[in-house]
A = this chain, B = another copy of it.
Amino acid sequence: MSYSKDTLDRIFHPGSVAIVGASDNLFKMGHRCVLSLVEIGFEGQIYPINNKVDSICGLRTYPTLMGAPGDVDLVIIVVPATYVPEALRVAAKKHAAGAVIITAGFKEIEDRTGAALQTEITRIADGAGIKIIGPNTFGMVNIGAKLNASFTPPFSHLKSGTISMLGQSGGVCHLVGFQAIDEGVGMNKIVGLGNRCNLGFPELIDYVGDDPETRTIILYLEGIEEPRAFMEAARRVMRRKPIVGLKVGQSDAASRAVQSHTGSLSGKYGLYYSAFEQAGIVPAYDTVELLDIAKILNIAPRPGGNKVAVMSFQAGPGIMLTDLCVSHGLEMAQFSGETVNGLKELWPDLTIRCNPVDLAFVSDMDVFGKAAKLVLEDANVDAVIVFYLDVMSFFTAAISEQLIPLATQAAKPIVLCVNFPVKLSTPETEQGLARFHENGIAVYPLPERAVKALKGLVRRAEIERTFR
């Protein structure tokens, strides 16, 4: 095994966590790290290390890490950079498996003392068999294990699911994680790799690849030093699990900024996307697309090709979806004569409008169901996008009654694009949308998001055919 599975298991499922640099000052990261563990309801032992106050967030503190009871599986370090080596030495004595080093000021700063310090902590960690997440990271979460080892208490509100993210930027992990909170997308692990001392993408890709709790993997890259190992790990894992990736650093200015962020060379942007293609990683180009694609890869059946049928209860968005399909390299399906005739029978009064199918005049949901069945069963159709505005709460229930039985029979993906004011949404709508999701139908609020997600799914299906 090319990675330390047992060590990583102890890190992601720790029995005990110590916070070196725990603070009772609400504005300090050392406070928020304690709060994160408390808010998610971590069920193991939490040892806030602080020699000035007796308790933090209602938890008893310990003046020193050495003084904490017994061994410690995971140590979160939030003290200034120069104190990190000593903290790691004590962590070694406490037989820690891992250290989440949130502290910055290592390889990413141009002052050489930073790089020297990073070399030193890596040496200490390697000597003790400790794996470091970071330094210069927001931390990590493992929602399935109720572990929020980060400086971000709101991550405790993430819904537990089967998508895991490995990211080189805390900020970007937050964009994805916050979207997951708002849209109820279930996540398993989110790991901010930071400067990567002795734990990088290859090992973590293999780990989540073998992780029974992870079904789909998100990668966010700025620049990596070990392209070969990265490619090998991705190639191994993508056969079993979908991987979707985003790389930044396209412009020169961004590329320079990458270097000063995590001390990595950004490399040629285009080369990364070529590498994604070779390694069977589905490409994404912004954070919304990243999560949107992961969401559909996680649940939807694979389309046999790129021919899409659009069915819309509102004509304008149907037209937008059509434009978007074409501009994103999907094809608008040509319906068979049988489908066209079948649709004409359903709407005898109106001239049948082929793909996109305009449902504006359809008030009888059975008629919609029959039309959707005809379209789904057409051999020229690989995937169907359905659009509607949810302006009346019964609508989602009525649509799901028709679509869910079809989705469970069909081996083709149905993508739902449903728009409504989220502020005014009802529990009926939210429950209805969750039901779609449970039945393999991914739901998006905007045409552009639905189409980009479907494009990602089409790409993944190609990858699965190629590497079958």
In A119-155, the 8 Å CB interface with B consists of 152-154
Interface 1/0 per residue, A225-245 and B, CB below 8 Å = 000000000000000000000
Contact status B169-A319, CB under 8 Å: yes
Contacts A314-B170, A350-B109, A351-B111; A319 near B222 (Cβ below 8 A): yes
Residues of B within 8 A of A222 (CB): 316, 319
Contact status A178-B420, CB under 8 Å: yes
A424 to B157, CA, bound (A): 9
Query: Contact size class for A?
Result: 35 or more
In A419-468, the 8 Å CB interface with B consists of 419-424, 446-448
Residue of B nearest to A250 (CB): B323
> CB of A57 within 8 A of chain B?
no
A288 to B391, CA, bound (A): 19
Residues of B within 8 A of A257 (CB): 315, 318-319, 322, 353, 356, 358
Contact status B157-A316, CB under 8 Å: no
Partner of A423, one of B181, B251, B258: B181
A349 to B179, CA, bound (A): 35
Query: Smallest CB–CB gap between A96 and chain B, Å?
Result: 26
> CB of A174 within 8 A of chain B?
yes
**Number of copies of this protein chain within its complex:** 2
A175 to B420, CA, bound (A): 8
> CB of A172 within 8 A of chain B?
yes
Residues of B within 8 A of A261 (CB): 315-316, 319, 358
A27 to B398, CA, bound (A): 12
> CB of A6 within 8 A of chain B?
no
> CB of A249 within 8 A of chain B?
yes
A196 to B358, CA, bound (A): 20
Contact status A250-B327, CB under 8 Å: yes
In A64-98, the 8 Å CB interface with B consists of none
Residues of B within 8 A of A288 (CB): 446, 448
Residue of B nearest to A153 (CB): B391
A389 to B327, CA, bound (A): 33
Query: Smallest CB–CB gap between A121 and chain B, Å?
Result: 19
Contact status B254-A175, CB under 8 Å: no
Query: Smallest CB–CB gap between A223 and chain B, Å?
Result: 10
Residue of B nearest to A258 (CB): B319
Query: Smallest CB–CB gap between A264 and chain B, Å?
Result: 11
A389 to B424, CA, bound (A): 25
Residue of B nearest to A317 (CB): B171
A421 to B155, CA, bound (A): 9
> CB of A110 within 8 A of chain B?
yes
Residues of B within 8 A of A325 (CB): 251
A12 to B263, CA, bound (A): 60
A165 to B313, CA, bound (A): 21
> CB of A160 within 8 A of chain B?
no
Residues of B within 8 A of A59 (CB): none
> CB of A312 within 8 A of chain B?
yes
Residue of B nearest to A29 (CB): B363
Contact status B358-A323, CB under 8 Å: no
Partner of A260, one of B153, B248, B320, B358: B358
A407 to B167, CA, bound (A): 34
> CB of A326 within 8 A of chain B?
yes
A254 to B173, CA, bound (A): 36
Partner of A323, one of B154, B251, B316, B422: B251
Residues of B within 8 A of A287 (CB): 320, 446
Apart from A154-B421, A170-B314, A286-B446: 11 A-B pairs, beta carbons within 8 A:
A104-B360, A110-B351, A172-B316, A178-B419, A178-B420, A222-B316, A253-B326, A253-B332, A254-B319, A254-B320, A254-B356
Task: List the interface of chain A (C-beta within 8 A of B).
Answer: 27, 32, 104, 109-111, 152-154, 157, 167-175, 178, 181-182, 220, 222, 248-251, 253-254, 257-258, 260-262, 286-288, 312-320, 322-323, 325-327, 332, 349-351, 353, 355-356, 358, 360-361, 387, 389, 391-392, 394, 419-424, 446-448
10 A-B residue pairings within 8 Å (CB atoms):
A27-B394, A111-B349, A169-B314, A169-B317, A249-B323, A250-B327, A254-B326, A260-B358, A261-B319, A287-B446
Across chains A and B, which 3 residue pairs bring their CB atoms closest together, nearest first?
A: A169-B316, A171-B314, A251-B326
